[in-house]
Structure 1
């Protein structure tokens, strides 16, 4: 769905996250349970007046800091008012000030206290109610405060800029985006887990806000390094490794084999809210079991569940609780705090003072700080005695250290230093299995399609749940096309790929199977009169009018067959296949009356020629093959395809060249497979009738998602662009860390992860942090079709705000989903909206193209030969090839712009970025080490 929009309203509903805090505050306005007391030391003396004015400037920019909360006619609303930030110079203890509650209906949710004349510099306590701030708000908050304070000291008016949206706009969007179906499904899944998680030593207490205690402890540097190493080797993340260790300890302290742990997530799921101050975090209950025999197996089991922290982070926790009455969904919590530290030289990094309360029965926070990795164990002292904190923390540190050192050792042999305070085995509360957890008949069909297609690709899975994501289970975009082709064959359901890829789950495919109308079996297209060319064909036809670009839109393939291959049989097979497909008989011309390109498919087919080159030297042979590959077609008079069999000393080379107007990459594979089938004496399927154009697609969401991004990429050119872009290309290749596992955890494809690492590698070479990449999407709906089914889509890779790798993947995944939903929008329409004043010095909208493909070998023992020379359409074309052993990068680039060494250096940066992503996806993506 669209992101938040600027509404300029002073009254708005509460977000789902705020609503819970408002209820607590209304019941106990004096309680500090949701205070966020930020204590920091000034490096020198505070100018209190300048600080006050700076805080007012920050509150003017961030409306949530000047918002109060009311009940108007039974509706809970937030009201944006004037900037008010009380600043007081005081002498009493900081803890006293930190634990003073807020009256959210009457006062702003922020206040400031200053202590003057302390040794080493003054001190400041900025106390903000959680309803207006979270951990991810701090870089923006303190960055703006530092800018405003510097301006005030210099006698200037602070210039903090305007935000594209405010928190109230997010709240409106948040409530409108509630996915009832996803909420119901997730509630049903969680209802199967036994309720009532209690650790040894628990005391019965009434629900409510309770006193709390915190125990802080250091995680040894060696253990933390081993966590990262193990995460990389298991293709997991440090979050998964830490969660696995925490779950093992909780399992032992509770004597439970299955339970829920509440993962605290950032929940900033749209780029528009990246730099907003506000309360976005959500609690996502994750299912944990203690059955895996080794720690490595436990991590593997939790990887998929940990992905749920991204998939389900927009489901409001309170809404889940409401759907599962009488159950505790998150008595025990876990958070990995890896947001960037606020950057300033005027004060120290802020410490969050304890408030003497607890939000969970037990909460473990692991945080990366400038002084190392620190753990905080917070627990409810009415539920558990105070000694629980140190004992539980020591058990966690000991088990984690042993587990990362011996991940394949049996977990049963890992002893805890302490163990639970008491050891009675509690009786689990039986859970009611709700009917909502059962799959409907269409969903069962969808689940079986998932299993069958993945099994053919070598991925064995159990029956997937309703919310199972095709990419998370091991699928990729080409397998998705095969999945939908199988759905057509077995269920008569014609599902458009863009409809499925926008939400590639069992539930979504089940809906599409239920609603899809079966299309008739493909049949041969009749001899026809002129018909309109597609939008892509129109664009390619006009590009063919530009002499310098004509060769770039040819699709040549050279296959070498061994000496025993029969030339006559091969020639006859090529002629048979070229004559069967209507698109290969196309002729194109401009209809001046209609002012558009039209085509017919009634022209005579192309026929293969044979050239005996067995006596030629290598130079003459190379020149001849190059001419066959790169000579443009007369699109009005000739068939847009040619084929020649070139006899050489070691066998036969098939040179097949077609114009991109009538074939795409998958079509070339179809043609070669069908040539092999004819040689083997097999029957061919009937040629597929061309689909009529669909309804005009709505481009508004896509344009909105892309607007504001630069329409160029700062590439490391060695030479300037010419007035008309060059198409002379060269290639370089490199192996890259296998991104597929970490991509799956974020619901991404290898393609999306590759785009992310490319963006980070490019960001390391300039100050650009927002990129547009072109990428191909095939709208083919039948695997045997031959034609140009590819549209050019646009992917945004937004690195602004210093996101972690995990967040970059989430952003790219969401951007890809927006692109897939608009897969039928003509590329020219996107260009017209975003880059109307383009010139011919570079490609429209972006000079970078990213693609993914599977490793493929020609039939009949053929070998694909590299093209030399090579024509390229974009300045940089990066393709990731998925092989059985890993990922391989192939970079094609404009040789007139880049030296070979420059591309080799760029590929090395991509390799470093990929390794950083695999090793620790919870660290900031654009780190100095990548530059």
Structure 2
């Protein structure tokens, strides 16, 4: 197709490359991961006023430098604004300035800092967000800046000329040229190459960027000259020769003979954009093998691979990742920077300051500079120690030097000076050191709590021993929360659920009761201004910015009450309850200065409405209820809850919908119980509005326990994922009748029914595929006030590791230990776990895992109400499995994305789960994954 055309548009879509960076910035606006800090040593003094005017001239010419990024009517757009720039004379460390993040919705993507009076002349730092610039942009950028600055010093404005096209024009062209069939073809090719690269020992490989460290090194001039000569001889390019050497080193360090390397390409595929300032680069996965015996043969193979792969260089890398589920696709990257150097005499060649982050596990950049050829090895310091950089660089230079001088010698004869690093030792799990003598008074109280709470749930036990496990005795997490609430009421001790569930024994609870603080009183926060939202609310606010996901974070409930229910009394009761709870009066907005979401609770409450639908047909009624259930809220202007009483022929239906930012599942039950109390004019408990915890839990143990597991699950999809995940859901159910035997086997391993069900699901999925290591999300309620209404649930992560052909008992033990680690980290924000394990996620699926598991108990609404199923249904995960203990057995309910699965597929999967549960009951000592399923 023809090239970009000048459209003169001030609002345009984002290019595919920009969209990826926008997503990262919106999720973490304070992160410097995509800052480009360009440090210039000025030859002489900086005229700050002239520099500011020169920058304004450059920004005026290049629209991308005066562009902000917004979400308008559900579409992410770039908005070209007036030229403005921040130029400050500062004294603080340049590294601090380099790491200051951008709010791309509110500020232009370029700022300038000046250091005056330096020993070797003044210094300037241009910090530009990567969304507006790449390496190939620098000659044009600095060429224009030099021209404009010289003109300002001479007393006149420079004529920088008009550009034939602007970056926004390119973005429109970029999207118009997207080829879905080419994407599908390339994704199928890459799916054949194994991923999960590890450099040395059992070091865990991970997707994405964490904290990073750089090691710079020189490539000897003679070696570089030989690289060029060999490239000409082989009719290849220096890029191919360097990548062949890098691939050999990576292959040796990983003991892998086939893998993918992410080649960072300029992606300027049309002449009209070659000199344009903007972000064009793309990552192109290249297949590397270490099978050809000589270096020359490696180069020839890579030359063919590189030539063929360049056909796909316009395919957005994130789209490829989305089409290859369960795979990070590339862990190591490579770039050759050979663009022309900016030409000016006013300042030295710019140095790109480190931002302390890493975009790949390991990235090698080779760059031609005025001082010679320089390599930079950037690596993730959360995966590999500091010595990786120097050792890997030394191996690369040694092998490259030897290979380019003897390209036809067998590579097996080339020894490396270093070798892989040793793997880290796993972190030890925390234990409780308790006296093994007879029960203390706190332990006797703990044992009585065990007995009383379990008895209320229908589980009769004698006095439990001090090492008795709450789950083994028949408890579950909701019962545990109720027990700790009882401990608060009866003994005045505040016990955090996560502290107990990390080791749910009588002895542990006794120790926590002994050390617990006095009972906390209900908290009502003052109305003196905005307060920070919780980490969960921050995450949900961000997801509400994504149009396709907004409805997934609504919590609708439809209850049918019989015909003799008084409508006026019910409406008054609903209004009373909605007005009492501060969380339901919340309004949320982004504080741009503080870069965080804040909330206020001083606005008017929502009020219930009444609609007479007694003459409507079923279709009209269903459409109306669906609209009430799934219409998103304007979180800044509306109360995040709505209620309507819909009159039907057989009674009245209460449709209650709230945003997940202000309610969880227990909150809905609290609200309905209080509505019933208000109908009967019973006193209501004082409203509670707890402040978010000021503490910050340590994520290191949890991250260490989860690292290395795939951040996707091989599910039996009937259709491929879309670029943005669907939330349209459906449900299927199955029942496992032999619940008593299932509980008994789980109890022997110290597992709850919920944990055993998660293990069974993992085994069922493993028997269908080759995957043997799974991450499942599951909910954890941190509520400490039983009558509070709010969002107290955090998302935890459970690992089901089935590697090594374990028996069922070994699987249950592994799952139990994983749950203990998760409970100990119950206060760690889910976003922090995602940031450590899966930061480079895309919108095609949920973060970290597409599977969610939960436990529930049977519950009936008050006032003789009946809970009605939701139709349509919105789901957050691709598969959400809930286990409920009923009189008929264990009811398994699968909510699933209807766009991905056929009904029969889920029916068959649930049948597999019940078959596997039966195998656990009958043969707990047999290998869990021994048999294959359909």
Under a length normalisation based on structure 2, what TM-score does the superposition of the two structures give?
0.54
Aligned partners of 1:918 and 1:710: how far apart in 2?
28
| 8 A contact 2:494–2:520 mirrored in 1 | no
Q: Does 1:545 align with 2:548?
A: no
Q: Does 1:584 align with 2:584?
A: yes
Secondary structure of 1:666's aligned partner: helix
Superposed CA RMSD in Å reads: 2.4
Aligned to 1:786: 789
Aligned to 1:612: 612
Aligned to 2:213: none
| 8 A contact 1:912–1:930 mirrored in 2 | no
| Alpha-carbon distance, 1:930 to partner | 4.1
Aligned partners of 2:569 and 2:510: how far apart in 1?
45
Mapping 1:127-526, distance limit 5 Å: 181=433, 185=436, 436=437, 438-526=438-526
Aligned to 1:673: 673
Secondary structure of 1:892's aligned partner: strand
| 8 A contact 2:779–2:794 mirrored in 1 | yes
Aligned partners of 2:654 and 2:587: how far apart in 1?
24
Unaligned runs of 5+ residues in structure 2 are 1-199, 203-254, 256-411, 414-418
| Alpha-carbon distance, 1:645 to partner | 0.4
Aligned partners of 1:791 and 1:523: how far apart in 2?
20
Aligned to 2:721: 721
Secondary structure of 1:850's aligned partner: strand
Deviations 1:768-815 (A, max 9, x none): 000001111010011111100001111100000111111111100100
Aligned partners of 2:753 and 2:546: how far apart in 1?
35
- Go from structure 1 to structure 2 and tell me whether the alpha carbon gap of 1:485 and 1:177 turns closer, same or farther (over 3 Å shift): closer
Aligned to 1:894: 897
Deviations 1:216-246 (A, max 9, x none): xxxxxxxxxxxxxxxxxxxxxxxxxxxxxxx
Secondary structure of 1:744's aligned partner: helix
Aligned partners of 1:875 and 1:179: how far apart in 2?
36
Aligned partners of 1:628 and 1:513: how far apart in 2?
45
Secondary structure of 2:768's aligned partner: coil
Aligned to 2:207: none
Aligned partners of 2:924 and 2:875: how far apart in 1?
33
Unaligned runs of 5+ residues in structure 1 are 1-5, 9-60, 62-154, 186-435
Aligned to 2:567: 567
Aligned partners of 2:899 and 2:421: how far apart in 1?
41
Give the counterpart of 2:777 among 755, 769, 774: 774
Aligned to 2:924: 921
| Alpha-carbon distance, 1:859 to partner | 0.8
Runs of 4+ residues over 6 Å off in structure 1: 161-166, 176-180
Aligned partners of 2:871 and 2:432: how far apart in 1?
55
Give the counterpart of 2:870 among 849, 867, 872: 867
Aligned partners of 1:162 and 1:772: how far apart in 2?
28
Aligned partners of 2:556 and 2:828: how far apart in 1?
27
Mapping 1:791-810, distance limit 5 Å: 791-810=794-813
| Alpha-carbon distance, 1:162 to partner | 9.9
| 8 A contact 2:554–2:659 mirrored in 1 | yes
| 8 A contact 1:561–1:860 mirrored in 2 | yes
Mapping 1:29-48, distance limit 5 Å: none
| 8 A contact 1:879–1:890 mirrored in 2 | yes
Aligned to 2:880: 877
Deviations 1:355-395 (A, max 9, x none): xxxxxxxxxxxxxxxxxxxxxxxxxxxxxxxxxxxxxxxxx
- Go from structure 1 to structure 2 and tell me whether the alpha carbon gap of 1:180 and 1:712 turns closer, same or farther (over 3 Å shift): closer
Aligned to 1:86: none
| Alpha-carbon distance, 1:648 to partner | 0.4
Secondary structure of 1:764's aligned partner: helix
- Go from structure 1 to structure 2 and tell me whether the alpha carbon gap of 1:663 and 1:180 turns closer, same or farther (over 3 Å shift): closer
Deviations 1:123-179 (A, max 9, x none): xxxxxxxxxxxxxxxxxxxxxxxxxxxxxxxx99xxxx999879xx79xx8xx8896
| Alpha-carbon distance, 1:452 to partner | 1.2
Deviations 1:573-628 (A, max 9, x none): 10111011110000000111111110001111100000000000000000000000
Deviations 1:415-450 (A, max 9, x none): xxxxxxxxxxxxxxxxxxxxx1x2111111111111
Aligned partners of 2:526 and 2:577: how far apart in 1?
17
| Alpha-carbon distance, 1:541 to partner | 0.5
| Alpha-carbon distance, 1:840 to partner | 0.4
| Alpha-carbon distance, 1:528 to partner | 3.8
- Go from structure 1 to structure 2 and tell me whether the alpha carbon gap of 1:848 and 1:692 turns closer, same or farther (over 3 Å shift): closer
Aligned partners of 2:573 and 2:701: how far apart in 1?
46
| 8 A contact 1:644–1:656 mirrored in 2 | yes
| Alpha-carbon distance, 1:7 to partner | 11
| 8 A contact 2:882–2:894 mirrored in 1 | yes
Under a length normalisation based on structure 1, what TM-score does the superposition of the two structures give?
0.54
Aligned partners of 1:903 and 1:854: how far apart in 2?
22
Aligned to 1:761: 764
Aligned partners of 2:765 and 2:629: how far apart in 1?
32
Aligned to 1:735: 735
Aligned to 1:596: 596
Aligned to 2:640: 640
How many residues are aligned here? 520
Secondary structure of 1:503's aligned partner: coil
Aligned to 2:836: 833
| Alpha-carbon distance, 1:740 to partner | 2.0
